[in-house]
Amino acid sequence: MEYPLLTNSLVNLIVGLALLAAWRRHRDQAFLKALGGSCLALVATPPGYLWWQATQGLAAVPAGALLVAAAVGHLLLLAMGAAGLAGRPLTRRQLQWLAALLLAIYLALLPTNIQVAHGVTTVLNLAVGGAAARWLWPQRGAERLSGVLLVAIALNRLWFVFLGESGVALQASVGTVLRAALGLALLYAALRRSGDTSLRLHDQYLRMTENLHFGVIVIQDDRVPYANRAAHRIYNLPAGRHFPLPWLSRNVGPADRERALARHRAIVSGEMEQAQWEGPRSRHDGRPMYLRFAAWRIEWDGQPAEQVVVMDDTEHHDATAALLYQATHDGLTGLPNRSALLQRLGDLCSHGSPFGLLLLDVDRFKLFNQAHGPSMGDEVLCALAQVLKQSIEAPAEAMRLGADEFALLLPVPQGDAEAASLALAGHLRDRLQQPLQLPSHEFYIDVSIGLALHPHSGREPEALLRSAHAAMTEAKRTPGWSLQRAEERFERGSGASLEAEQALRTGLLNEEFLLVYQPKVDARDGSLVGFEALVRWQRPGAGLVSPAEFIPAAERTGLIGSLGALIMDQACAQIAAWQVAGAGLVPVAVNVSPLQLLDPGFPGLVARTMARHGVEARWLTIEITETAAAMHLDQARQRLGEMCALGLQVALDDFGAGVSSLNILRSLPLQTVKIDRLLIDPMPAADAVAVVRAICKLAQALNLRVVAEGVETEAQAEAARDAGCDELQGYFFSRPLAVADASHWLARQPALVGAPT
């Protein structure tokens, strides 16, 4: 009897382990786990039965507990497995109630006769087997057979019920066969179900991938077992045609092929979990495209393979490339622009190799636009761009920075960068000696070139560009074709000029400008007859700055109008203050820039300023330079006429310093002529006195008063008076005075000639 029981236990163990192993491989077949567990629970029944038979009394309790545990576990797991196999899984609550019921039944059966307990167990097994058979009967063969076998296994227990211990061996032997058959049926059902699931998933996968907009390619070893319709469409391959390996694309180089093969092996072997890459490819018809790829490991027909997802990014890539081209190239000439130049400069500077940067500017380019229109100017720029491209060879590059400014970049990995740059400039000069050929014209042009060298002129892109620009600006001072190497003094001068211009704007906002007053005295008795208001800049950190240092910057930046209005306002305010203080007034002369003289609104500004401060016109004199009057005679005549109509006095300053013209004295509405200090300085030399005397006689004939400027000695003062000058001004009498000192001069009339200040 022991042999059949142990054989039964061994078969249950084998079947249980086989079912659990199958479940581990096919986790979706959960019934295998439960039925495998029910078989393993029965492994303990034969040993428990033999143990129970060999003991009596309390010693038999552990054996009985083992039999109860095995029976409850077997039935509970059998019910779970049968329900799962039938597609009617039990809920947790149902399992809890069933477990409690079975435990109660078996505990109640412990004190009874073993045959009675076995009979109840048979009924329970038959109930579970019958329910499973009913559920499984509508299904296919293996499931239906499993239900029948479960009923047969339950009925097989009747041998012991009717025959007692003499039927144990027969029950164990028949049960062994039935258990083995049940195990085989269950394994077959599980495998068939897994196959059905795989086929269903495969069909779903194909239906899904065939409708995708991006390509899906499966690569296994050296073949492509699957490629969806989108992949064929992307590569322009007819549907159904054999799909070649992606790395065999005609524009994939040997190095890329090696990388692709290495990546494929790493993914299939599991060394690389996922990979992404992108790059240009060719369609089957040779048209270029740009693709993005993502790949990972899958199983295909039970073997490892690589799945590649292909996305056609050609349109986006081309649009991005077009935008990048627009951002880095000049729309007119097609040359790289300033952004591209800075990027290339950054690359070359980071490498540290020597190179030359030539900055070119077309001389008098505005004349083309003024004479022929902007379209002709554009044609000139395009023709020059072609000349530049034809004049260089790789690795040199031509670029347009904007307007009429171009750049030539000349990397020189080995050799003398300066010599190569000068040779290139010389070649370009020879080429530009020939006219630029346009569709309807031909033009000769000159260019000014600034040359900066790396690393001598700078190690950073901005520094090099700044050096080249400063050198180019210096080159433009030379007429015709010119080239200037970068020097630190050019850049320093440009920086100082820019700094002054910026500070000038701040100074106007903060009203950092003030007036000083230089007396003009009567040549006969030295009495005060007027002041000349001279502007000074109280620049923070620099003290008082002479107008010679900031007036050119004000004219260059267009700030002279604001500065002139400020000077006029301060002068009128001071005249009004002296008038309120009860001091004796004298006329105050204010210098006017040529740019102010060209402004049609300037006379109105003067009138409004005088009205705002309550100043009469007789106390204000306008001084203009001889050069300004000569350059803009017609405008000067009109503006000065308008100011004379307001009652203002007009003086011609610096007479004799420029190209003097008697027509100026005759044509302009003047009241005073101021002889420049260059004519006063040589006095009392006889020739100098003769010149001054001639000017005085001419002025007397035109009814003009004469002021001698720059009088610094008593001899000069006496000579100027004897020559016929009416008024004298200079350091011999007084330097420019602050307001308080000027007020003292007003208070101590008449002053002595040459009195100390």
SS (H, E, C) 300-317: ECCEEEEEEEEEECHHHH
A 10 A CB-CB count for 239 gives 9
Q: Which domain holds residue 247?
A: 213-317
Structure token pair of residue 533: 């208001």
First to last CA, the chain: 147
Task: Kindly give, in sequence order, each residue whose CB lies less than 8 Å from that of residue 286, ignoring residues fewer than 6 positions away.
Answer: 250
**Helix or strand or coil: residue 273?**
coil
| Residue closest to 727 by CA, chosen among 592, 531, 575, 591 | 531
Comparing 27 with 509, the larger pLDDT belongs to: 509
- Whether 252 contacts 281, CB under 8 Å: yes
Give the range with max mean pLDDT: 162-166, 207-211, 481-485, 592-596.
Answer: 481-485
- Helix 114-136 to helix 61-85 angle (10° resolution) is 10
pLDDT of residue 757: 35
Check whether residue 17 and residue 49 sit in a common domain. yes
What span, in angstroms and rounded, lies between the C-alpha atoms of 332 and 123? Answer: 98
The answer, yes or no, to whether residue 659 has pLDDT greater than 60, is: no
Residue 534: CATH number of its domain: 3.20.20.450
348 lies in the same domain as 451? yes
Query: With 0-12 CB in 10 A as exposed, 13-18 as middle and 19+ as buried, what is 141?
Result: exposed
**Which of the four pLDDT bands, split at 50, 70 and 90, describes residue 204?**
low
Contacts 24+ apart (CB under 8 A), 95-104: 99/72, 102/71, 102/72, 102/75, 102/76, 103/68, 103/72
Per-residue pLDDT tens over the stretch 164-187: 666 667 766 776 777 777 767 777
34, 19 in Cβ contact below 8 A? no
Q: Which residues contact 528 (CB under 8 A, 6 or more apart)?
A: 519, 520, 521, 522, 586, 745, 746, 749, 750, 751
With cut-offs at 50, 70 and 90, classify the pLDDT of residue 752.
very low
Q: What is the pLDDT of residue 388?
A: 94
Say how far apart CA 272 and CA 264 lie, in whole Å.
Answer: 9
Could you give the percent of the chain with pLDDT greater than 70? Answer: 85
pLDDT tier for residue 35 given thresholds of 50, 70 and 90: confident
Indicate whether 679 pLDDT > 90. Answer: yes
Nearest to 179 by CA among 420, 14, 408, 301: 14
Q: Is the pLDDT assigned to residue 691 strictly greater than 90?
A: yes
Q: How high is the pLDDT of residue 205? A: 62
Please report the DSSP string for 492-537 in residue order.
HHHHHHHHHHHHHHHHHHHT-EEEEEEEEEETTT--EEEEEEEEEE
Neighbour count for residue 165 (Cβ, 10 Å):
12
* Confidence at residue 716, expressed as pLDDT on a 0 to 100 scale: 96
Q: Is residue 495 part of a domain?
A: no
> Does a structural domain hold residue 429?
yes
Q: Does the residue 155 lie in any domain?
A: yes
The answer on 598 and 661 residing in a single domain is yes
Q: Are residues 616 and 733 in the same domain?
A: yes
pTM over 0.85: no
Q: What is the CATH number of the domain that holds 290?
A: 3.30.450.20
Q: How confident is the model at residue 490 (pLDDT cuts 50, 70, 90)?
A: very low
The per-residue pLDDT for range 554-585, each reduced to its tens digit, is 877 778 888 999 999 999 999 999 999 887 89
pLDDT of 556: 75
In a domain, 643, yes or no: yes
Domain closes at, from 282, 317, 352: 317
Q: Strand pairing of 649-655 and 442-443?
A: unpaired
Question: d(Cα 544, Cα 541) in Å, to the nearest integer?
Answer: 9
Is the predicted pLDDT of residue 42 greater than 90, yes or no? no
User: Between 754 and 387, where is the model more confident?
Assistant: 387
Q: What is the pLDDT of residue 604?
A: 94
What's at 33, amino acid-wise? K
Going by pLDDT thresholds of 50, 70 and 90, the confidence category of residue 753 is very low
Q: Tell me: do 396 and 263 sit in the same domain.
A: no
pLDDT grade for 162, boundaries at 50, 70 and 90: low
Dist. CA 558–CA 560, nearest whole Å: 6
pLDDT at 6: 67
Instruction: Enumerate the β-bridge partners of residue 218.
Output: 226, 307
Residue 445 has pLDDT above 60, yes or no: yes
Band of pLDDT at residue 249, cut at 50, 70 and 90: low
The stretch 456-467 carries a mean pLDDT of 87
Residues 416, 441, single domain; the answer is yes
Residue 623 or 104, more confident: 623
pLDDT band of residue 667 (cuts 50, 70, 90) is confident
Q: Is the pLDDT score of 140 beyond 80?
A: no
Domain co-membership, 311 together with 359 = no
pLDDT score of 507: 86
Residue 737 confidence (pLDDT) above 50: yes
Same domain, 417 and 515: no
In a shared domain, residues 471 and 504: no
Above 70 in pLDDT, residue 25?
yes
146 domain residue, yes or no? yes
123: closest CA among 71, 70, 77?
A: 71
Position 751 pLDDT exceeds 50: no
Residue 59 pLDDT more than 70?
no
Per-residue pLDDT of 286-342, as tens digits, reads 889 999 999 999 988 778 999 999 999 999 999 988 888 888 999 999 999 999 999
Note whether 589 and 531 are within 8 A (CB). yes
What average pLDDT does this structure show over 251-280? 87
Lowest mean pLDDT among 265-269, 485-489, 666-670: 485-489
Q: How many helices (H) and strands (E) does the chain have?
A: 29, 21
Q: Is the pLDDT of residue 206 over 80?
A: no
- SS3 of 385-448: the string is HHHHHHHCCCCCEEEEEECCEEEEEEECCCCCHHHHHHHHHHHHHHHHCCCEECCCCEECCCEE
Question: 173 and 4 in contact (C-beta within 8 Å)?
Answer: yes
Final residue in a domain of this structure, among 292, 317, 342: 317
Region of 303 please: left (phi>0), alpha (psi -120 to 50) or beta.
beta
Let me know if residue 457 belongs to a domain: yes
Residue 399 pLDDT exceeds 90: yes
Query: Average pLDDT, stretch 486-493?
Result: 59
3 state SS of 633: helix
Check whether residue 308 and residue 418 sit in a common domain.
no
Round the average pLDDT of the chain to a whole number and report it: 83
Give buried/exposed letters for 48-83 (b at 16+ CB in 10 A, else e). bbebbeeeeeeebeebbebbbebbbbbbbbbbbbbb
Residue 499 has pLDDT above 80, yes or no: no
State the pLDDT at residue 695. 93
Residue 296 domain-assigned (yes or no): yes
Name the domain boundary from 317, 348, 375.
317
CATH of residue 342:
3.30.70.270
Same domain, 365 and 239: no
For residue 205, tell me if it sits in a domain: no
CB 704 within 8 A of CB 665: yes
- The model's pLDDT over 302-315, given as tens digits with 9 standing for 90+, comes to 789 999 999 999 99
pLDDT band at 730 (very low <50, low <70, confident <90, very high): very high
pLDDT confidence of residue 240: 67
Task: Provide the percentage of residues in the chain whose pLDDT is more than 90.
Answer: 38
Same domain for 575 and 634, yes or no, is yes
Tell me what pLDDT residue 160 has: 62
Residue 447's pLDDT band (boundaries 50, 70, 90)?
very high
Weakest-pLDDT range from 29-43, 403-417, 567-581: 29-43
Q: Cα 129 from chain centroid?
A: 74
Q: What's the domain count of the chain?
A: 4
d(CA 341, CA 219) in angstroms, rounded, equals 45
